[in-house]
Chain A
Amino acid sequence: MGQSDRTTGPRPLTAFAADLRAVLMGSGTRPPYVLVGGSFGRMLAAHYASLYPAEVAGVLLVDATYPAHNQRALAVLPPETADEPAARQAFRRQLWQTDQLPPETDDWEGLNVPASIEAARGWRLGAAPLIVLTAGLDEWEDGFPLDAAQRYAQMWLGLQQELAALSSKGQQRTVADSDHQIHERRPDVVMAAIRELAGGREY
């Protein structure tokens, strides 16, 4: 748990972005920023860049998720059956838990998912330098059906390409030998992307 005060309930991405801005301004950290988003921070980075484009020199999204991810992931799974393999059932339940609970329920890291899905529809990054790094490897539990995994991988790649398309300068790059933890498996790739964005070089 972080040391910040707790929130009182799920909040939209806009509230998270306002918090980040308050911290940056309060600490005297002046723009421009190169925003690097990992884990939940990927959504926050994209949202911040959309809200405050004049403050952003570049955005790096590391195998970034998206508010509507769970809906899309559920859609690529075959219909639920009574004899569904345990691994697929567990994955379905995990997606459902984080996306289908009532808004007042403590859900996805305090995120109000429906409001954030709506907010994400308005993401526009203009011509902001944007690099989207995508994991080339997926890890599934034993017994997870191969066909469902393949459909999920296609969905994920499409989502990554959509994120890159938020900017006219967006680039989607697949890190073939890394799973979701790109910052741990290939920190050199992450650093190279940050250097590109921070250096303002053509990429």
Chain B
Amino acid sequence: MTGEDQPGQKGFYLSGGRRLYAERWDSRAQAAGPTVVLEVGSLTAGTADAGWRPIREALTAELDFSSMTGPGWGRATGRQGRAR
């Protein structure tokens, strides 16, 4: 795997006694600028959401820095097909 295929940093972070999983993707530029936080809202880690991957790749290529969190906040409901 190259650096383009996996996050620069991933791991667990504590919040209220829970472990939260997150991934961070650093850009090639590494210059100062706001951090772009993609909250894709998925119950899976953000990078597992293929729909957002092209955007994440574009971010890391173009912008100063980007970060994607994919904490999987909640519990799986098993419900699919929401209109929104």
Contact A26 B14 (CB under 8 A): yes
Contact A1 B82 (CB under 8 A): no
> Does A36 belong to the interface (CB within 8 Å)?
yes
A119 CB to nearest chain B CB (Å): 15
A159 CB to nearest chain B CB (Å): 10
Q: Which chain B residues (22-73) contact chain A, with CB distance < 8 Å?
A: 22, 24, 33-45, 51-52, 54-55, 58-59, 62-64, 67, 69-73
Which range holds the interface residue count of chain A?
35 or more
Q: How many residues of B contact A (CB 8 A)?
A: 50
Contacts of B33 in A (CB 8 A): 198
Contact B34 A19 (CB under 8 A): no
Contact B45 A45 (CB under 8 A): no
State in angstroms the CA–CA spacing of A3 and B71 once bound together: 7
Contact B36 A36 (CB under 8 A): yes
Contact B73 A16 (CB under 8 A): yes
Contact B71 A19 (CB under 8 A): yes
User: Are A38 and B39 also in contact (CB < 8 A) when A19-B20, A106-B77 are?
Assistant: yes
Determine which of B16, B54, B62 lies in contact with A195 in the assembled complex, contact meaning CB atoms within 8 Å. Answer: B62
Least CB separation from B54: chain A residue:
A187
Contact B41 A198 (CB under 8 A): no
Binding site for B on A (CB under 8 A): 1-7, 11, 15-16, 18-20, 22-24, 26-27, 29-42, 44-45, 57-58, 63, 65, 69, 73, 91, 94, 97-98, 106-111, 156, 180-181, 183-184, 187, 190-191, 194-195, 197-198, 200
Binding site for A on B (CB under 8 A): 9, 11-16, 18-22, 24, 33-45, 51-52, 54-55, 58-59, 62-64, 67, 69-77, 79, 81-84
Given contacts A23-B15, A109-B41, 6 further A-B contacts (CB under 8 A): A4-B21, A24-B67, A26-B13, A31-B35, A63-B84, A194-B55
